[in-house]
Structure 1
């Protein structure tokens, strides 16, 4: 395993800070641009959707929630143990849809293909390592995807659904996954701010 990049966290001495954390895979810029083009096409349908900003695209591996900052180093060490058994692998965009598949959509997502079996194994290993630190296991199977937007009002969605059917064949970009990242999400009135606290390379 390569060297781990850990960003220092500054807090007030004697006080325990809590950080809203998750672990994810970053996306390359070219792939982000392709997703933005798809968002633009879907936006033209007039559907009332809160679209995810370009710099916030990611593949979530594990949401940790509010976590004491003193646990960050233990989390990064757990990520490192998990990554020892995995080398870099390829993923690609595959498909486009809404959740739930029937009824009023709550999420617009892009699917993932490629070496997804490695992704599932990596996430499963990470799940077990973090469980040793007291983080609860997920109650449902891991379903990797990229969130593109969340409908805000359930009005007429047929134009959006039709455009999704047209756009789903345009997503074919492939990229190499070489690391996983610990990210802090700071909630603000203008939206979340993401800060990468640690980058752990795959073996």
Structure 2
């Protein structure tokens, strides 16, 4: 099964983002806009994982998540991978305790590896939510500039989710596990 670990932002934060994005969509027909129903923040992409690894994966992810405290996040601005001048992905960023979010992603990835689920992408997390894709590099600098002022309302990330991707004519996601961020609050420093 094809799996990733991520955050599923609350509906009100996603609706706010969709409203902010709406005036820009028609001006960029060369982008394939992702369905808002599937919007998520990937923390660790695991790729194909044997079903036999699932019990151990649940244990390791629950343990990893329990060592991290909930965080207040918000969506902010826009950017592109690999760059705004030759974008293949247009995204919105996350504002919040970035270092803690990166440490959470690292911890979840390490737990997944210990459970036998090797991450297919081990690059350091750059927190974002993908909004659109392009088959070939598209210059989206004007879109990135136009979306730079977007600052969404804050929301509480208190659970990470193990999600299965069902690929086909349309992509469908299925939650396989939920793991609370359960560490007591610290002094707020990264």
Q: In which range does the TM-score fall when normalised by the shorter chain?
A: 0.7 to 0.9
Name 1:103's counterpart in structure 2. Answer: 85
| Pair 1:176 & 2:159 matched | no
Q: For residues 119 and 92 of structure 1, what CA distance do their matches in structure 2 show?
A: 12
* Contact persistence 1:49–1:153 (CA under 8 A): no
Task: Kindly indicate whether residue 73 of structure 2 is the aligned counterpart of residue 94 of structure 1.
Answer: no
2:143 paired with 1:150: no
User: Quick one: which of 123, 128, 131 aligns to 1:140?
Assistant: 123
Q: Give a deviation string over 1:55-107, Cα, whole Å, max 9, x none.
A: 11111011111111121111111111102211211111122012222532111
The structure-2 alpha-carbon separation of the partners of 1:22 and 1:88, relative to structure 1 and needing over 3 Å to count, comes to: same
Distance in 2 of aligned mates of 1:131 and 1:148:
28
After the TM superposition, which segments of 4 or more aligned residues of structure 1 sit over 6 Å from their partners? none
Shift of 1:153: 5.5
1:198 aligns with 2:180: no
Measured on the aligned residues, the alpha-carbon RMSD in Å equals 1.8
**2: CA distance between counterparts of 1:46 and 1:96?**
14
Alpha-carbon distance in 1 for matches of 2:147, 2:20:
7
Q: CA deviation at 1:201?
A: 1.1
In structure 1, runs of 5+ residues without a counterpart are 1-18
Q: State the TM-score, normalized to the length of structure 2.
A: 0.86
The alignment covers a number of residue pairs equal to 181
CA gap 1:60/1:39 in 2 versus in 1, 3 angstroms: same
Q: Distance in 2 between matches of 1:141 and 1:154?
A: 22
Q: Distance in 2 between matches of 1:102 and 1:49?
A: 13
Alignment TM-score, normalising by the size of structure 1 = 0.81
CA distance in 2, matches of 1:171, 1:152: 28
User: Equivalences for 1:115-130 in 2 at 5 Å?
Assistant: 115-130=97-112
Contiguous gaps of at least 5 residues in structure 2: 183-190
Which structure: larger Rg? Answer: 1
1:182–1:197 contact (8 Å) kept in structure 2: yes
CA-CA distance at 1:131 after TM superposition: 2.0
